[in-house]
Structure 1
Amino acid sequence: MMPSGPPPRFCWTSVVFLLLACCLLSTGFPERVELAPLPLWQPVGEQLNLSCLVFGGVPRDHLTVVLLRWEEELGRQPVGKEEPAKVTFMVQPRREDHGTNFSCRSELDLRSQGLELFQNTSGPRKLRTFGEGKNCRRVDEGVAWIPRGERGRWGQGFTRGRCVVSKLLGNAPPLGFQGPILNLSEPNATEGTTVTVTCAAGPRVQVMLDGVPAAGPGQPAQLQLNATEKDDRRTFFCNATLEVDGVTLHRNRSVQLRVLYGPTIDRAKCPQRLMWKEKTMHILQCQARGNPNPQLQCLREGSKFKVPVGIPFLVLLNYSGTYSCQAASSRGMDKMLVMMDVQARNPVTVNIALGVLAILGLVTVAAASVYVFRVQRQHDIYHLRPRSTRWPLTSTQPVTVAEELS
């Protein structure tokens, strides 16, 4: 019998929660989103790449990242499959962007599945820019400009008649102070020629070349040298110092000298005689120096057989001989002879010795066998029949006297 009363109510709330749970099983909210650190100082007008990092979040097909300047949207891009995902935006900072906050915002859009738009925003990062200033006065022609009326610590600049300023806060670059000019009379000098190194800057600037100061502010510093092989890749340093409104500014320059010289084989690393065993791995440690870099090869005299240089190779018996090692470049050639003596693993003397030892072994075994045989014969064992315990039968007939005498 069916119970009486009103029919049970259908719970729509349970169905909604069940559908929501099913959807959430295949989705996941981003754990966090971050904006990568910004440069300490960014020049105005130069391209800047801002990177947003997204950790977690599925499905990725519904996940995007938005770059924000304050609350202004600068761009949006989809998120890739990697973990964490990195999305890069390119911006070009303006003068008014100094002190502006930038941030990233992730958006997981599940509205097509009947859910909502889930957002997560990173912490802001402040951008500091530098660029052209206004109302500047000249301090020294071609050296520095500073903004009029400012008594604080300013970076100073002069670039083709325009004033470039930058506050000296933290590690801000002193843009306007272009620093010294460091020149070589011969950047690629031939060995034996005279090279002049000059470091110069504008008025009131004190320069120092390789630790030696110039005669005074505004004066250039010079040194001369006779280029040798040891001067190749030598680096010269010039430091310039300028004081502006009680602030000391420093800029450095460096330049490298290249000296062209002929090839030379290093005798200390390339032995003139080698004794190796056949079927062993060895390296022919020969090196050559020069500028430009020489090509080194070792060829056996009387043939074009070339042995590897600087890499392991298997030494064979027919490698024995005299090799001519040559280092050649556009500056000349250097050569030396290398004797390679490859010894067999079992030479004739060793084979003879082994044969003699084998014969002596056979003789020893034969002598030992004869000796054992003789000793065995001297110690043979003879088996005797046991004496009978029965008495022998004798004749009972009388013995005659003749028989007894006989």
Structure 2
Amino acid sequence: MAQLLLLLAWGVLTTLTGAVQGSFEVHVSPEAPVVEHGGSVWINCSHTCEDPAAPGGLETSLAKASSKHGPSWVAFHLVNIQEWASAPVCHFVCRGDSRRATAALSAYRAPEQVVLEPLPVMEVGRAYNLTCWVLSVAPVKHLTVTLRQGGWTLHTETFQHHTGAEPSNITVTQEITPLRWDHGQQVSCHADLDLTLHGPLIQKSSSAMELQVYEKKPPPPPTEAPLVEHGGSVWINCSHTCEDPAAPGGLETSLAKASSKHGPSWVAFHLVNIQEWASAPVCHFVCRGDSRRATAALSAYLMEVGRAYNLTCWVLSVAPVKHLTVTLRQGGWTLHTETFQHHTGAEPSNITVTQEITPLRWDHGQQVSCHADLDLTLHGPLIQKSSSAMELQVYDGPRMDDSSCPRNRTWEVGTEQTFSCVALGNPPPAVVCAKDGVPFRGTYHCKASNAHGTASREVTVQVKDGPRMDDSSCPRNRTWEVGTEQTFSCVALGNPPPAVVCAKDGVPFRTGVQWRVRSEDAGTYHCKASNAHGTASREVTVQVKGKWPLL
């Protein structure tokens, strides 16, 4: 019995000696909490002191809403967490010995948007940049962005070395070189914010975008009656159905040939600097001794807007010419009328009538014709004969105006919008628009092109949205010294620019004015921003340092 008591006394002595030396621990749980920005979390502080009521608490700049406690522990509910990174500290005092434990608290924000930059119609074998924006995400070091095409991954990018806890806009770009079988494939962008060690896994994706891929091909064979600009060029394709694909042949023409191409059962010739207004190139082949020919009716009257051309009509072998009237018409009106009452000679003649025309863009598709009237009605018949009508082919380089591509547009946040920009011209121009930086708002650069030129236009898009205030425009915490000159400023972002009104203790406070700081300037200022699209509020705490006046 004496031996048992001795052992018990030694155990008590050891415990007391450990307490005196301060051998107790302080714990914080969770050690690295992750919470949504503006959200809340419970922080539990506990200790191993033999006194379960050892005094202690939690040091933090964050707002505490409530607390709970029990033997050897106390928990605090932190709310409206606005700091992106903070370090709450648990502390207890056990018999004069003070110990502390710190938590690493992080706030996160799910990506506001994941957006793919629009791609143009792409040419096979040409390199293009596929770009994805992940907007307003934090913390970036836990972000993974993946670009996908169909069922496979094109590119994955991580940001574990990114510093800074506040939200950022992230851009990921991957070069792609489309092949013909990529046409119709869908590409997409996927953002994963992986907080699973201490929080959620947040996944967000862009809308899928379908690849539009084309392949450049040799120029198509012209029609049997090709139209070409005077002085221009055209490809004439000659083909045959002989069972011998190498049957000899060629093209007979007075026009200049610049080059040729050939393949099984065909050969094509590039005719250039066409000066004849009407010509008849002849394709010819010989198949096992049998010679065959095919003729094209080539006309040179494809015209440029604003350029002068001669419209010429031949009236062949007519008599007597002095009774002839020749009229040139376009659509329903007369371009020119010519008579020959002073012509001498009774034998048939070939008559040429020419009228200069300067086509405008709306003349495209109009029909012109020539009409010959041989008026013998005093002693004989009225003879009328007309040419075939000819359709004017008028080309025009691209042009863009406010009706087809407005320069200024205003959108509201949350509405469905379509960015359209159309160019006028003949042939119809292709339009490609692009912009740099943050999507949607800003300046778009649009370029229209066809075979006859290019046109450019800048389009500015303004996005109207409600007010927002952050630490860059309206810091929450400020520290001033008594007697210094200070200006209280609080600016809100938004479109249109919001109006900001601040008050302290219910009394409106004028911002943007410099004054000398007094001790009574310390406190909480309530600021409210408003525009047509909403309101936003923010509390600003001002601490004043310096000697207080003696009473």
Query: Aligning the two structures, in what range does the TM-score lie when normalised by the shorter sequence?
Result: 0.3 to 0.5
Of the two, which has the highest radius of gyration? 1
Calculate the TM-score normalised by the size of structure 1.
0.33
TM-score by length of 2: 0.25
Structure ranking higher on relative contact order (CA contacts 8 Å, 6+ apart): 1
Bigger strand fraction: 2
